[in-house]
Amino acid sequence: MEALALERKAEQNRELKERIAQLKKERNAIILAHYYQRDEIQEVADFRGDSFLLAQKAASTDADVIVFCGVHFMGESAKILAPNKTVLIPDERAGCPMADMVNVDGLRALKKKHPNAKVVAYINTSADVKSETDICCTSANAIKVIEAVDSDEIIWVPDKNLGDYVSKFTDKKMIIWEGYCNTHDMLTVKDVEEMKAQYPNAQFVVHPECRPEVVKMGDFVGSTTAIIKYCRESDCQEFIVGTEDGTGYQLRLDSPNKKFHFATKYLVCPNMKVNNLKKVVKCLETNGPQIYVPPHVADKARASLERMLQVK
């Protein structure tokens, strides 16, 4: 019975993938998928990547339509960088709790308290918040961005864990907002200790959105893209992975002979996982839901994102 259900599911996915390919051609569309998406979504994507890579692709694509399989702030970033494109998100409920932890009023109040500080916003923020910042960054380029900013005082929003990690690589004063990623913040020292005991030959690779005490345990610390690159190039054959479980798709694709154990079963972002093939088909057929960013917000936010893209 289970085998039959799996067979039906595989056939349904095959038909959906064929329909997606047809619609992409008709609409001159591309699909951008974050590494945390379901495997089936990553399989049909034209580009898979972290927030930084996907922002670059959105800014440079010749497509008329961008289907952004990620969460809402990512779709906003794509629309800001490609204002003349139609940007679709398969499920507009795909939000980011961390992005919701910082708001414009709170940020403005903090800026008044520290008038000489420059604001660096993690890309995991709304367009409204980006419009109040000097420059954006991702976990992949955060340290470079901090060092590139012409100020010795930095307001950092919204992830306190990533902010703590970055602060160790700069002499600048960091004023850190108290936000966090619900998924990464779940990982505990106990979880990692148990996995290390179970897999003593494995290296622990960890995302800096995790708690500082967990990050300290890492054999390698880096963004999702950096983790994938490290695991691909490392001589080690077994890894304990401290980031969202969707990353497993690219890890296994790059290194099919290596073993990957996720540090806890709770490393799943429910917001990333709301997208599926049916919803991709529907958004291409109906031309919605569309991402909209008011022009006055987009203009200010675009400057912040473009400054990030210029940092080498």
Position 198: which residue type? Q
139 labeled binding residue: yes
69 labeled binding residue: no
DSSP 117: P
151 labeled binding residue: no
Between CA 169 and CA 24 the distance in angstroms is 43
Residue 148: both structure tokens together: 């590139």
Distance spanning both ends of the chain, measured CA to CA: 54
133 labeled binding residue: no
Instruction: Residue count of the chain, please give it.
Output: 312
77 labeled binding residue: no
- The string over 67-82, giving b where at least 16 C-beta atoms fall within 10 Å of a residue's C-beta and e elsewhere, is bbbbbbbbbbbbbbbb
234 labeled binding residue: no
Query: What are the residue ranges of helices labelled H in the chain?
Result: 2-27, 39-44, 51-60, 72-81, 104-113, 127-130, 142-148, 160-167, 189-198, 212-215, 224-233, 248-254, 277-286, 295-310
Between CA 28 and CA 62 the distance in angstroms is 9
- The string over 164-202, giving b where at least 16 C-beta atoms fall within 10 Å of a residue's C-beta and e elsewhere, is bbbbeeeebebbbbebbbebbbbbbeebbeebbeeeeeb
188 labeled binding residue: no
CA distances (Å), origin 206, targets 79, 231, 239, 298: 30, 11, 10, 33
116 labeled binding residue: no
114 labeled binding residue: no
Position 121: which residue type? A
296 labeled binding residue: no
86 labeled binding residue: no
Annotated binding site for iminosuccinate: 34, 51, 122-124, 139, 207-209, 224
Annotated binding site for [4Fe-4S] cluster: 96, 181, 269
Annotated binding site: 34, 51, 96, 122-124, 139, 181, 207-209, 224, 269
